[in-house]
Structure 1
Amino acid sequence: MAEDDRSPEEEFQELIRQLFGGAGGVDPEQLSKLSGMDIDPAMMQQLMQQLQQAFAAGGPDGGIDWELTRRQALHIANQDGLGITSGQRGDLDEAFALATLWLSEATAISGLATAPQALTRGAWVEATLPVWQALAEPVATSIADALTGALSEQAPDDMQSLIQGAGRFMRTVGGSLFATQLGHVVGNLSKEVVSGGDVGIPVMPDGEAAILPQNFSDFGEGLEIPEDQLALYIATRELAHARLFRHARWLRLHVISQVTDFARGIRVDTSALEDLAGRFDPSEPDELRRALESGALLPPRSPEQDTALARLENLLATIEGWVDVVTAQATGRLPMADRIAEAVRRRRAVGGPAEQALASLVGLTLRPRRMREAAAMWQAVTDAVGVGARDALWDYPDLMPTADDLDDPAALVARLEARARGEEPERDELDDALARLLAGEEPAAPAAEEPADGDDDAPDEPRPV
């Protein structure tokens, strides 16, 4: 068949072959023939260029190219071009210095080895991106794999060999779209967060504390609270959060592993993806992006995921509740501390637009829904046994309060008071077994079952069936 005799559909397939075959540029004359398919040639050319760039930028072995996330996030974070003035930096340095002194009276956990700092939005993106990548990678991989499978099923029979041969490319397209969307979310999140610990999980490097002056000013608008009091409160809360994670080295991994375990349980709604692939219009390349943004490709959570989410929310609430109590104790000298605390809690409970977008993208809401119960528990512990015994609960993972302790702080307080009096807790079978193991004794053999009445002559070996 002569080239000029090909149908628009055949012309479109030839463009796809050029794209997957790595032929480089796409012939503009071929694009002009797409008008017979009601496809805008200019839009198609733009889409082709974007896809070819995605192929060229794909990660190793067709993996996710997280550099796309970084570039997109930094593009959004640095749009205003504003830096940090010497006045802003000086004010925050003073707030951090005083907050450090106040915290020394409110907690037994020692200070940071690294000086807290004022960060630009772009610097916050650079510092926190590894955590966002770890959080999102399981979901990105799932979407990329599902996109490959769905588009392969929707392709015509005469293009199956071509689609199968381009599996790596199709996977890269899905991964690149997700990576770009994550960059969009993280970039917008950099405009909302006030401090390093603002999102509840340890996104900053271990032992580092920071405040974003650009966002701090926005947070204070409309609160009618003196800026110096607001700075002191936020600095104290940020330092408490950073001190906790530096002291309990295991806690950071504990939180991140629970987040990633939840994310690995996410499966893409293949029926929704297949429906999208079946009606995908190349003249509307934003449709897949909108589906990612809205969370339409993520099915409702499974019961296992609901359990994992409840466990994670309890953990985040336990952390935030401790930070809340310590901050309140340290900032008792501030006349408006209670008003600021309520504003912070309300802001954390509602979440900003970028945090909501993150929830749609990875199906996870990072909000400590039980923070008030956790704060009440930590306050009860503080009143009963003091600061030192309270903070010692972070020394080892098995000492940390559980969800049951949030429900019934009295039981935890009773155990801690008994320990303070020198009373040993009641031993159980696990304690006895551990003691024998440490002593080098052989494990106790399980007790033999007594034969049932009337079965004294039962054979030692089971009868053959």
Structure 2
Amino acid sequence: MSNPPFGFGLPDPDKGRDNDSSGSGGQSGSGADSFQQLGQMLSQLGQMLSQAGSSSGPVNYDLAKQIALQRLGSEGQLGFSAGDTTGESAVRDSSHLAELWLDGATILPAGASTTVTWTARDWIDKTLPTWQRLCDPVAKQVSGAWMQALPEEAKQAAGPLLSMVGQMGGMAFGSQLGNALAGLASEVLTSTDVGLPLGPENTSALLPKNIEKFTEGLERPTSEVLVFLAAREAAHQRLFAHVPWLRQRLLATVEEFASGITVDTSALEQLAGQVDPSNPASIEQAMSSGLLEPQTTPEQQAALDRLETLLALVEGWVDVVVAEAIGDRLPGADALRETLRRRRATGGPAEQTFATLVGLELRPRRMRAASALWKLVGDRHGMQARDTLWTHPDLMPRAEDLDDPMEFAERLGDSGALGADVDPIAELERTERAEREARESEPGPADSDSSGPDTDEGPGAAGNKPGDD
């Protein structure tokens, strides 16, 4: 794994050295100098805390947003260079054309009721609520685990400074998230570019400025690239709108991983010996030392494997459906398809963010295998049988099926479960109705998100009935 998990970034070796006086010769300095440095450090700490806003919780999202927007600068406000009106019109026309083509390539109806253009800043604003749901469980479990495991003597010695430690932890997480969001916002092409439903429900969004940068050097007209990307965005939206269990399953798997985070207690004891409660700098240094990197349990690895498989199935299905929808309509479609695959294979910002967030690196081999499986199922059993598999998670291919798609396709035909007499739309409606009834019959708050990974209904399931445009 190339990047440490979320919240465990290594300290910047150059941090805090800008104000070092030259000619010190590496000497420790006088007592007066030490007091002066301590005063400067406390002053800087106070400024950091005051500038971080009033955000509470395991991640300081005010700081994350502030850092992300600062890194983007004025570039984050740009749309199409030709002007907003032209850009919005081009996106709407491309999306409309893509939806018409997709109607003949999948049984799932259009999932987006709105098509919009976003700047990089818009992407941060609109996706931050979903990032909060993804990041909170990880950060909360990490910060809670090591603080609860501190020896009582250390807690008593720290006293009120523990609240400052928690606040600084939220700032550390927020800073890391802010930098990751800035990198993503300057590169993502659509709202679903990372494979997760990050944006508002039933909304297709494209980022024209990023698409223009992506198009440079492709030797393809921007209009062609725009239609291709609009088709991918629309295909994602069809899945997320009309497969009621999918959104919740993706997000709940991340939460399941977070719930299993544990911290090595022996490292905690070592860390406690390094913390001087009277020196906030020692707290910050200890938190970023890497001693608290969590241990991955077998249960967590299983959750990551399920998440990787499900993401690969989503991306593979979109890849196949878009290829069939476009066909020979766009001369450069095959080249664009391969370009996007290679873009993912080179470890772009999406993969780096996932690796930082949950230790997951999307493997292109899984995505190509998923594409091959969906293509084989469609060729052998037809479009309806292929898409009906999404009606329930128990019907979906598993990780081992990606290794042997031929065996899965043969087993699917032998089972007779997806015969010609199956009405796929009726199956989608039946599944959604059963899940809604089960949710309404459960005790406790109906809108609770803490039901765990086995809950298949999502917060956006109600109201997204198959067949509704």
TM over 0.5: yes
* Post-superposition CA distance 1:419-460 (Å, at most 9, x none): 42669xxxxxxxxxxxxxxxxxxxxxxxxxxxxxxxxxxxxx
1:398 is aligned to 2:394: yes
* Cα distance in 1 for residues equivalent to 2:292 and 2:338: 36
**Structure 2 vs 1, CA of residues 272 and 221 (structure 1 numbering), >3 Å: closer, same or farther?**
farther
Pick from 221, 227, 230 the counterpart of residue 232 of structure 1.
227
- Report the structure, 1 or 2, having the larger helix content: 1
Instruction: Go from structure 1 to structure 2 and tell me whether the alpha carbon gap of 1:257 and 1:121 turns closer, same or farther (over 3 Å shift).
Output: same
CA distance in 1, matches of 2:420, 2:175: 57
Q: 1:316 to 1:368 in 2, by over 3 A?
A: farther
User: 1:179: Cα distance to partner?
Assistant: 2.0
In the superposition, relative to structure 1, how do residues 254 and 200 fare at CA in structure 2: closer, same or farther (>3 Å)?
same
Counterpart residue number, 1:318: 313
Is residue 172 from structure 1 mapped to residue 171 from structure 2 by the alignment?
Answer: no
In 2: Cα distance, 1:372 partner to 1:116 partner: 29
CA distance in 1, matches of 2:92, 2:311: 28
The answer on 1:80 being equivalent to 2:75 is: yes
Could you tell me which amino acid in structure 2 is paired with residue 348 of structure 1? R
CA–CA separation in structure 1 for the residues paired with 2:157 and 2:419? 72
Q: Are 2:373 and 1:356 equivalent residues in the alignment? A: no
**1:78–1:210 CA distance, 2 compared to 1 (3 A):** farther
- Candidates 54, 61, 64, aligned match of 1:66: 61
Q: Which residue of 1 aligns with 2:239?
A: 244
Give the C-alpha shift of residue 249 in structure 1. Answer: 1.7
State how far apart, in whole Å, the 2-side matches of 1:288 and 1:209 are. Answer: 43
Unaligned segments of structure 1, at least 5 residues: 1-31, 424-465
The 2-side partners of 1:417 and 1:264 are apart by 39
Counterpart amino acid of 2:389? L
Q: Find the aligned partners of 1:149 and 1:38 in 2 and give their Cα distance.
A: 34
Per the alignment, do residues 361 and 268 of structure 1 end up closer, same or farther by CA in structure 2, a change over 3 Å counting? farther
Equivalent AA in structure 2 for residue 208 of structure 1: T
**Secondary structure of the residue that 1:117 maps to in structure 2?**
strand
> Residues 49-448 of structure 1: matches in 2 within 5 Å?
49-51=47-49, 57-59=54-56, 64-80=59-75, 82-84=77-79, 85-86=83-84, 87-145=86-144, 148=147, 161=156, 163-268=158-263, 287=285, 297-332=292-327, 333-353=329-349, 355-366=351-362, 369-406=365-402, 407=404, 408-415=407-414, 419-420=418-419
Structure 1: how far apart are the matches of 2:264 and 2:365? 27
Structure 2 vs 1, CA of residues 107 and 349 (structure 1 numbering), >3 Å: closer, same or farther?
same
TM-score by length of 1: 0.72
Match of 1:46 among 37, 44, 62: 44
Cα pair distance change 1:393/1:211, threshold 3 Å: same
How has the CA–CA distance of structure 1 residues 420 and 126 changed in structure 2, closer, same or farther, with 3 Å as cutoff?
same
Offset at 1:35?
2.3
CA offsets, 1:84-128, max 9 Å, x none?
223222222221121111111111111135122211111111111
CA distance in 2, matches of 1:261, 1:228: 41
Note closer, same or farther for the CA distance 1:271–1:69 as it changes in structure 2 (3 Å cut): farther
The gaps in structure 2 that reach 5 residues or longer are 1-29, 423-469
Alpha-carbon deviation of 1:371?
A: 1.3
Identity %: 43
Match of 1:10 in 2: none
Rounded to whole Å, the distance in 1 between the matches of 2:409 and 2:76 is 53
Max radius of gyration: which structure? 1
Superposition deviation, residue 317 in structure 1: 1.0
Of structures 1 and 2, the one with the larger relative CO (CA 8 A, separation 6+) is: 2
Q: How many residues align?
A: 382
Residue 81 of structure 1 deviates from its aligned partner by 5.1
Question: Partners of 1:66 and 1:247 in 2: how far apart?
Answer: 31
- 2:112–2:238 CA contact under 8 A, matched in 1: no
The CA RMSD measured in Å over matched residues stands at: 3.2
**TM-aligned CA deviation for residue 140 of structure 1:** 1.4
Question: What is the CA distance between 1:360 and its match in structure 2?
Answer: 2.6
- C-alpha displacement at 1:41, in angstroms? 3.5
Partner of 2:245, secondary structure, is helix
Is the 1:322–1:374 Cα contact (8 Å) retained in structure 2? yes
